[in-house]
């Protein structure tokens, strides 16, 4: 076998151009398959992080009836021992108490059904961190009129800002990126920030005010310093009503929540909904998200009560799971089509290589080489070609994945705006090395072997005389 491998290796490099062409077809197949899958899986991970880590958490402890009937009556009594027990799991990164319910929010003649979330301001910083989402700048109509009068304002930039009316920004950096300004434009940037600045603050431990989501504030035409009236139903039919000053506006990275979310302190929410020592959920983020199901099982066994249950994000947000599954299937279909194209490309290349060497094979059979040994040598050649193409493609994709992981591709223009409208950062990160990386190499390598089947079979049935005549 060692001698056959030597012969096969030498055969490859007798015609370097042919070998390079064949290996290159495998190389590009591996490279593009890995890159496409990495982009797709990276986008899923980014979507989950923004939607799950930024609000609901990967796991939640709830009353057993709460998921089917999410009303305030299905709150549960919480004790320090229960919170300590949940936080004791080695995979729990943070566990925060929550009170969530619904109410009617009103400002003047405008009203809308909203989701009221009672939080512990200090603890919530380690989960959804609404303090980092407080709107610092907004392009109101008044601000745009003032921006027009800024000295040295380029007309193209002003037209761009006009198209961003009512757009909010949580930092100067995000505004700078959206406007396409460079660090050298600091004077112009400072002038724009000065006229579009919004005052707002985070909640304190015993704050009587609220934080209101960005789109909801636009709908209710309410800003910092205004008051919002909340009316609803409290625990066991008690009335829930109150007037709350708006401390700040938060921009939530999920359009559905950004249209209806109000934060208040957990004590404020308990008073509003007439709760005493009760919560609707404990939201949990994890250190290692791949172990979510195992952590869920451990917490379920630790709590060990028929009153409480532990739900994962797939159960809490089935719509997002279905969206990811649907997009994943479409990606797999696209990948299958790519595989079919790649297979026939490799097959055509191999068939061409066999046709070019028909006289050579005929001569070797004529001087006494067994067809089986000749087929073995050809198979080994194809294995070498597959290894060269697959390994080089995988190695070439490594720097691309590292670059895309640490420095995600940033979209601009209309595509970026579309992503932001759906509540996602306009970036396309790549997934870290995982099973998909090795799977693509394995699949393409198997395809090389399958593409070699018919040529090898033709050698086993080779007619030496016809081969020598090029037939």
Alpha carbon distance 361, 466 (integer Å): 11
In this structure, what are the phi and psi dihedrals at residue 125, rounded to the nearest 5 degrees?
-60, -25
Whether residue 278 is predicted with pLDDT greater than 70 in this model: the reply is yes
Q: Which segment of 200-209, 264-273, 300-309, 445-454 scores lowest on mean pLDDT? A: 445-454
Whether residue 470 is predicted with pLDDT greater than 70 in this model: the reply is no
pLDDT for the residue numbered 463? 66
pLDDT for the residue numbered 202? 92
pLDDT digits (tens, 9 = 90+) for 389-446: 888 888 999 999 998 888 888 776 666 666 665 656 677 788 888 888 888 777 877 8
Whether residue 383 is predicted with pLDDT greater than 90 in this model: the reply is no
176 inside domain: no
pLDDT for the residue numbered 92? 92
pLDDT for the residue numbered 52? 79
In this structure, what are the phi and psi dihedrals at residue 63, rounded to the nearest 5 degrees?
-65, 150
Alpha carbon distance 413, 174 (integer Å): 14
pLDDT for the residue numbered 466? 66
What contacts 459, CB < 8 A, 6 or more positions away? 354, 361, 371, 374, 375, 378
Whether residue 263 is predicted with pLDDT greater than 80 in this model: the reply is yes
What contacts 243, CB < 8 A, 6 or more positions away? 227, 228, 229, 230
pLDDT digits (tens, 9 = 90+) for 184-219: 778 888 889 888 998 889 998 889 999 999 999 999
The total number of structural domains that make up the chain: 1
204 inside domain: no
pLDDT for the residue numbered 67? 80
pLDDT for the residue numbered 231? 94
386 inside domain: yes
Alpha carbon distance 442, 386 (integer Å): 10
Whether residue 17 is predicted with pLDDT greater than 90 in this model: the reply is no
- Provide the CA 209 distance to its chain's centre, in angstroms: 33
381 inside domain: yes
In terms of residue numbers, what domain contains 455? 2-51+320-468
69 inside domain: no
Reference 210, options 218, 196, 222, 198; nearest CA is: 222
Q: What is the mean pLDDT of residues 166-192?
A: 83
The CA–CA distances, whole Å, from 273 to 105, 240, 241 equal 14, 5, 8
Reference 357, options 453, 454, 457, 467; nearest CA is: 467
23 inside domain: yes
pLDDT digits (tens, 9 = 90+) for 66-107: 888 888 989 998 888 888 899 999 999 999 999 999 999 999
Q: What is the mean pLDDT of residues 228-254?
A: 90
| Residue 351 pLDDT grade (very low, low, confident, very high; cuts 50, 70, 90) | confident
409 inside domain: yes
pLDDT digits (tens, 9 = 90+) for 25-40: 788 878 888 888 888 8
Mean pLDDT in the chain?
83
Cα-Cα-Cα-Cα torsion 317, 93, 252, 147, nearest 10 degrees, comes to: -160
163 inside domain: no
pLDDT for the residue numbered 129? 87
Q: What is the mean pLDDT of residues 161-172?
A: 84
pLDDT for the residue numbered 49? 75
pLDDT for the residue numbered 412? 65
In this structure, what are the phi and psi dihedrals at residue 120, rounded to the nearest 5 degrees?
-90, 110
Answer whether 0.85 is exceeded by the pTM.
no
């Amino acid at each position: 076998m060692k001698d056959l491998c030597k012969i096969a290796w030498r055969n490859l490099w007798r015609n370097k151009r042919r070998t390079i062409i064949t290996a290159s077809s495998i190389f590009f197949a591996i490279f593009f398959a890995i890159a496409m899958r990495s982009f797709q899986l990276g986008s899923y991970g980014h979507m989950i992080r923004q939607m799950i880590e930024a609000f609901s958490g990967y796991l939640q402890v709830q009353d057993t009836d709460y998921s089917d009937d999410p009303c305030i009556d299905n709150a549960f009594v919480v004790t320090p021992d229960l919170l300590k027990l949940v936080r004791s799991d080695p995979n729990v990164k943070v566990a925060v108490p929550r009170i969530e319910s619904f109410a009617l929010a009103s400002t003047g003649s405008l009203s809308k059904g909203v989701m009221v979330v009672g939080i512990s301001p200090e603890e919530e910083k380690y989960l959804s961190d609404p303090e980092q989402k407080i709107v610092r700048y907004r392009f109101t109509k008044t601000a745009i009129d003032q921006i027009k009068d800024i000295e040295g304002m380029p007309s193209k930039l002003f037209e761009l800002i006009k198209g961003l009316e009512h757009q909010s920004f949580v930092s100067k950096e995000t505004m700078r990126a959206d406007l396409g300004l460079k660090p050298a434009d600091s004077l112009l940037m400072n002038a724009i920030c000065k006229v579009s600045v919004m005052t707002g603050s985070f909640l304190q431990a015993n704050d009587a005010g609220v934080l209101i989501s960005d789109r909801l504030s636009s709908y209710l035409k309410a800003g910092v310093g205004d008051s919002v009236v909340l009316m609803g139903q409290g625990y066991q039919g008690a009335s829930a009503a109150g007037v709350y000053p708006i401390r700040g506006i938060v921009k939530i990275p999920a359009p559905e929540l950004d249209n209806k979310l109000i934060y208040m302190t957990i004590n404020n929410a308990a008073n509003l909904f007439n709760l005493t020592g009760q919560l609707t959920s404990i939201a949990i983020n994890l250190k290692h998200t791949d172990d979510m199901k195992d952590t869920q099982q451990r917490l379920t066994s630790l709590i060990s009560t028929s009153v409480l249950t532990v739900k994962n994000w797939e159960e809490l947000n089935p719509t997002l799971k279905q969206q990811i599954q649907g997009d994943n299937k479409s990606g797999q279909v696209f990948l299958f089509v790519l595989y079919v194209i790649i297979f026939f490309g490799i097959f055509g290349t191999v068939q061409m290589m066999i046709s070019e060497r028909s006289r050579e094979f005929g001569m070797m059979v004529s001087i006494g080489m067994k067809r089986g040994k000749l087929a073995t040598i050809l198979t080994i050649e194809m294995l070498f070609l597959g290894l060269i193409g697959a390994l080089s493609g995988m190695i070439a994709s490594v720097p691309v994945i590292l670059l895309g992981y640490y420095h995600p591709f940033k979209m601009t223009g209309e595509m970026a705006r579309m992503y932001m409208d759906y509540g996602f950062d306009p970036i396309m990160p790549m997934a870290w090395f995982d099973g998909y990386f090795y799977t693509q190499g394995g699949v393409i390598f198997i395809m090389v072997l399958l593409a070699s089947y018919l040529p090898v079979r033709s050698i086993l049935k080779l007619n030496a005389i016809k081969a020598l005549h090029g037939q």
